[in-house]
Each structure stands twice: as C-alpha cells, then as structure tokens.
Amino acid sequence: MSTFLNLGLIYYLIPYVSAIDNKFGLLFSILIGRKNYKVKTKGHVINFKSSQFMVMLDFIAVLMYSVSHKITPDNKIHIKLDLKNEFILPLDNWSIEDENLIKTLFSGSQFGANFETKPIDFKNFRDKTLVITEKDGKKIIETSRGVKFYLDSIHPGNTIGEAFVHDIHTIRNDDDYTDKIVVDVGAECGDTALYYASRGAIVFAFEPMKAHYDAMIRNLTLNPKLSERITPINAAIGKDGKLKFYHSGISEIAGVSSFVYNVHGKEATIFNDVQGYSLSAAIKKFNIPHIDILKTDCKGCEFFLKEEDLEKVEQVKIEYEAFEYTKHSITELTNVLDNSGFEYIIYRIDPKKDRYSNSVSGHLFGRKN
C-alpha cells in the first residue's frame, strides 16, 4: 500500500487514537505499511491484521467513547458506554458477531444512540435506544420500533446506524406508510424492508446476493408479524437475464456487490448467473400493482432505470454512485427522472462520513408531479 494511502488511513484514525497507550507506535506502523498492528491498552496488547483496519478503528473509537473499560484475567475486555451497561469481548479470535458488536457500538454512538443490555419498555426511553441481549447463545439487537436482528446477520453501519438511528429512510416525519407499496432494491439483510414494514408498508425486497438474502430470511424469522408484509426475492434489479456480480472479500454480509463495476480488482469474488430483471419485468413477474416508493441502494443499477420502468412509480429514494469507475454520470439518472415527470432533490445524509461532490455520490428523493 502506498504512503499516500497510508496517510489516508491515519487521517481517519487520528480523532480516536488518544484512547490507546501506543498511539505513536501504531501511527508509525500504519505509515510504513506493516501488515500487522498492535493496539495497547491497560497494559495489554490486541493484535490486528492490516486487512482489519476498519474493525481496529471502530474498536479504538469505542474505547474513546467509553466511560470506562477494563481487562480481566480471563483475557476479556469489559466496555461501558454509560455507567450501567457493560459489553464483554475476548481480546483475540473475534467472531463475526464480536466484530459486528464493535461496529454497532461505534456507528450507533456516532449517530447518537444509547445501548441497553436488558429488555426494556421502550416507551420510557429515547427513540435512539438500542437493546442488545442474548438468546440461545446468539446476540440479538432490537430497535425502538421493535424490529430485531441477529447481530451476526447484519451490516452494522447500514442496518443499525443509518436505518434505525440516523433514520435515513424518513423523508417527512408525518408521512403515512400504511399499506403503501415499497420496492426495496438492494435489500441486503432486510433492514430497510423491516423499517418500512414497521411503519405499515407492504414491501417487495429484492436482494441478489445469496449470503445477504439468507441473512434477510434469518432476520425475518425474528419478526414474524412484520415478515407477513414482506416478500423477499433473491434477484437483482436493473437488467434482464443472468448477471455477473463482483463482491468485496471483506465479509459475505457486509461486503459491497455490483454487476455494474468492479472496484475490488483481483480481490473480488465473482458470482456468475445471478438472476436479474429490469424493473418493468419484475413488476409484471411478481404482480406488483404499483409502486408508492422505489428505494434503491444497488451500486450502479440505478443507471439502468428507464422511463418505462417508472410508469407505475410515484416516489423514488435513490442512493447513487457516479464515480469515474462506474462509467456513468448523475445526469443519466436525472434525465430519466425529468422525462418521467419527477421533481427531485439531491442531499447528503452524513457530510462528515465522506468528502465527495454531490455529482458523484449522494442521495436523491423524487416525487411525480
């Protein structure tokens, strides 16, 4: 990795590095491109591979946010983000569940959440309260809407931080979603589908990646009433036929997947023969009478929307990416919306998270005239 890229990693870590004992040693290790990092706290060393940089960053940030942390003789770290709730993790050999716990504590805290470790009556707590408990050896996280997820079956920043703490899917607080039909393109682990269902909507949830789809099915089993309002579909939207998807190797559930572009190079995992549909074909095949809200977070598939696809769509909520490597531009999308009679706005959900121009990355909400 180049020195320039290493400086970028340091840039992201700097706000939190004061929480550890070997701040200068760690920064130097990153600068010179070592493959392994050491984090020292309370006289103990926690090892991370360079490929685990983001998990390490989240861990250090959680230490900074904590009111206290300690390490016990059984090699476990106890972290308190308030004065009563404690989270316990091993010092090494983290599972996906352990990593997701750290990521959830970090992303939730960033967006102002507080955490409880015992069942509560949500009426007596803030809307941004999250409850993390354990059942049959599995950690479960519950939101103030009563929506539950298995902690090892989520993409922490998106599932919890964005959807249920930052509440990025709410356009207007007084919107009534009762029996509205939502098509969720890029449903991943079911977070957006469950969000809209919890507000009374009927949801068709399209997710092309099998690991993501299986995570969604698993999370739906935790929410039997809401799942009655959701139709999960293991398919992509954008093009008809069998598609080739490029998937990052970070995690089966949290990785980024696209049939439009490959930003992972030789590190990409390739999935051939993923079933795809144009939106108009999907509307016919799955008997969708109309679409009150079309939500897309699909890493490029938004540029394959055509005017005929939007004939039965009243509102769109699109997360778009038009970087140079996508070989598409935002004007391709806005031209289709203009020709389809939409009025729309472009906005950002978290200016601190990324530093890109709205011309290449952002969110778009549109409503037909």
Residue 188 in any domain: the answer is yes
Q: What are phi and psi of 95, to 5 degrees?
A: -85, 170
Q: Which residue has the higher pLDDT, 277 or 111?
A: 277
CATH number of the domain bearing residue 317: 3.40.50.150
Residue 347 lies in a domain: yes
Q: Is 200 a member of any domain?
A: yes
Sorted by sequence, the CB contacts under 8 Å of residue 197 that are 6+ apart come out as: 203, 223, 226, 227, 229, 230
Position 150 in a domain? no
Q: Is residue 4 part of a domain?
A: no
Q: Which domain holds residue 235?
A: 168-368
CA atoms within a 13 Å half-sphere pointing along the CA-CB vector of 171? 20
For residue 75, tell me if it sits in a domain. no
* Mean pLDDT of all residues in 204-224: 96
- pLDDT tens-place string over residues 250-261: 556 767 889 898
pLDDT tens-place string over residues 87-119: 999 999 999 999 999 999 999 998 899 999 999
CA distance 147 to 141: 8
Is the Cβ–Cβ distance between 111 and 161 less than 8 Å?
Answer: yes
Residue 143: inside a domain: no
Using pLDDT thresholds of 50, 70 and 90, give the confidence band for residue 4: confident
Per the domain annotation, does 125 fall within a domain? Answer: no
Question: In this predicted structure, what is the pLDDT of residue 207?
Answer: 97
> DSSP 3-state assignment of 364?
strand
Q: What is the pLDDT of residue 104?
A: 95
Q: How many domains does the chain have?
A: 1
Contact 153, 100 (CB under 8 A): no
User: Torsions phi, psi of 71, nearest 5?
Assistant: -115, 130
Q: What is the pLDDT of residue 26?
A: 97
63 pLDDT above the threshold of 80:
yes
